[in-house]
Amino acid sequence: MQRLIRFWLISLLAVIPVVIAHPPQAAEPVQTPPVSRLDVEKLKQLLDRGDVAGAIRLVEENWQTQYENYYQGQLTTQLLETAEISRRLTNLFRLTGQRSALIYAIPTPTHLELILVPPGARPLHRRVATANREALLQAVKSFRDGVMDLTTPRSTYLPPAQRLYQLMIAPLEPALKAYRIDTLIFCLGGGLRTVPLAALHDGDRFLMEKYNLAIIPAFNLLDHRPVSLKDARVLAMGASEFEEQSPLPFVPVELKTIVGSLWPGAMLLNQDFTIENLRAFRAKQPYRIVHLATHADFAPGSIQESYIQFWDQRLSPNRFRDLRLSYPEVQLLVLSACRTAVGNPQAELGFAGLAVMSGSRAAIASLWHVSDAGTLALMTEFYRQLKTTNKTEALRRAQTAMLNRQIRLDSRIRRDKIHPYYWAAFTVIGNAW
């Protein structure tokens, strides 16, 4: 009798989370609510009278609402004032040695608003009158089209890369140098959230050669506590074969390299690559890094059009919590074969909100599907660097090594510098420390 009661209790406990995580399917697909619009006239009025803190509060509240609408649920009740944001950046410098600055880039119909929040100092506002939304987004499109296409020559992709640098970075650069900033945290408005920031160019160097980079959905949605990945274990999972999508033949090598040569951990491939196995392995061992080498797509339209592909099912963003990455907490989620529909508001929200919604402290994902060989090369170098530094610096070092041909990629590539197609797609999302 006692055995039957115990069996009944265990069964009940096993069922309860599933019932909570998977509500009954509606007859019609859930439609993502339209993206709420920022009141740009109110924003301009606040900035015109010098109330930068009020402008930041307005932007944070609106962008938080945008992400909550997309992910269909409340993400936080936190609302930090600008002085507290600056104080936390100062504290992060004391704890990590990184001098981080927060950059808000807010497109409006007539101009671009830039706000810089440095550590321990008042925020700085710059208005770029030559960057109306139409001209800015056209420059963004030209830039992205160039770096996403391996056949595009430097003479074609560098001019828009330099143009965007002049619009988004140059107005703030004197202050960045004065405060000796080494890490840029970007909080971006619609149309800019899928810009491959690493490949912006000042005429001499790419942005990632000068700064560690990360993007965040909103500072109030961010877990700011610094993270140490020293002695972390990696749960490396993925698939090389798919029924309806192109194969990823380098995935087995990628997973074996990460957990076989560089980091301690476990590897699950193809049929073993399931959500149930992810949960089961993490229930036995608190893997703090989860690496998923599989197709993932942030697509336009309904949130259910976006997904991470597991062996036996697709997981849409509104079900990312089903991965239970916050119990115990995953410090880093890596999606090494991700793709994002550039320029689409819903796709942008899905990509930039990945870390928050998945429950991980931070994520690394790609804006486009880089070649298998390119992904293997960059990920191998990233994990090698991660053994001695933090994730943003590790990614910057890996990208720089690839750019300068310090990583063997393909003997058929004869250029002195490796095309941004191979390295600019990868982005740190969320906690940069």
Largest CA distance in the chain: 78
With a CB cutoff of 8 Å and minimum separation 6, the contacts of 155 are none
- Topology of domain 234-430 in CATH is Rossmann fold (3.40.50)
d(CA 66, CA 60): 10
**pLDDT given at position 34:** 55
d(CA 294, CA 333): 13
CB 347 within 8 A of CB 339: no
In DSSP notation, 325-360 reads TBTTBPSEEEEEEEEE-TT-HHHHHHHHTHHHHHT-
CB 426 within 8 A of CB 364: yes
CB 366 within 8 A of CB 427: yes
**Exposure string for 41-56, b = 16+ CB within 10 A, e = fewer:** eebbebbeeeebbbbb
CB 215 within 8 A of CB 272: no
Token duo for residue 31: 């439609």
Task: Fill in the DSSP letter of residue 206.
Answer: B
Token duo for residue 405: 């041909």
d(CA 328, CA 126): 42
Task: Fill in the DSSP letter of residue 193.
Answer: T
**pLDDT given at position 360:** 93
- Topology of domain 40-221 in CATH is Nucleotidyltransferase; domain 5 (3.30.420)
Number of H helices, E strands in the chain: 13, 13
With a CB cutoff of 8 Å and minimum separation 6, the contacts of 5 are none
CB 347 within 8 A of CB 307: no
Direct distance between the N- and C-terminal alpha carbons of the chain, in angstroms, rounded to an integer: 53
**pLDDT given at position 128:** 98
**pLDDT given at position 179:** 97
Q: Where are the domains of the chain?
A: 40-221, 234-430
Q: Tell me the pairing of strands 183-188 and 212-216.
A: parallel
What is the pLDDT tens value at each position of the chain, 433 positions in all? 444 333 333 333 333 233 223 333 333 444 555 566 899 999 999 999 999 999 999 999 999 999 888 887 777 778 899 999 999 999 999 999 999 999 999 999 999 999 999 999 999 999 999 999 999 999 999 999 999 999 999 999 999 999 999 999 999 999 999 999 999 999 999 999 999 999 999 999 999 999 999 999 999 998 888 988 988 999 999 999 998 889 999 999 999 999 988 999 999 999 999 999 999 999 999 999 999 999 999 988 888 889 999 999 999 988 888 899 988 899 999 999 888 877 788 888 888 888 888 889 999 999 999 988 889 999 999 999 999 999 999 999 999 999 998 887 655 554 557 899 999 999 999 999 9
d(CA 391, CA 371): 22
CB 181 within 8 A of CB 121: no
**pLDDT given at position 411:** 56
**pLDDT given at position 418:** 87
Cα 317 to Cα 44, 73, 99, 136, 383, distances in angstroms: 33, 12, 32, 29, 26
Task: Fill in the DSSP letter of residue 312.
Answer: S
**pLDDT given at position 18:** 30
From the CB of residue 137, how many other CB atoms can be counted at a distance below 10 Å?
A: 16
d(CA 76, CA 78): 5
Cα 365 to Cα 61, 85, 337, 425, distances in angstroms: 25, 26, 8, 8
In DSSP notation, 63-85 reads HHHHHHHHHTS--------HHHH
Task: Fill in the DSSP letter of residue 194.
Answer: T
d(CA 105, CA 416): 33
CB 228 within 8 A of CB 288: no
d(CA 142, CA 199): 13
Cα 60 to Cα 64, 327, 382, distances in angstroms: 6, 27, 31
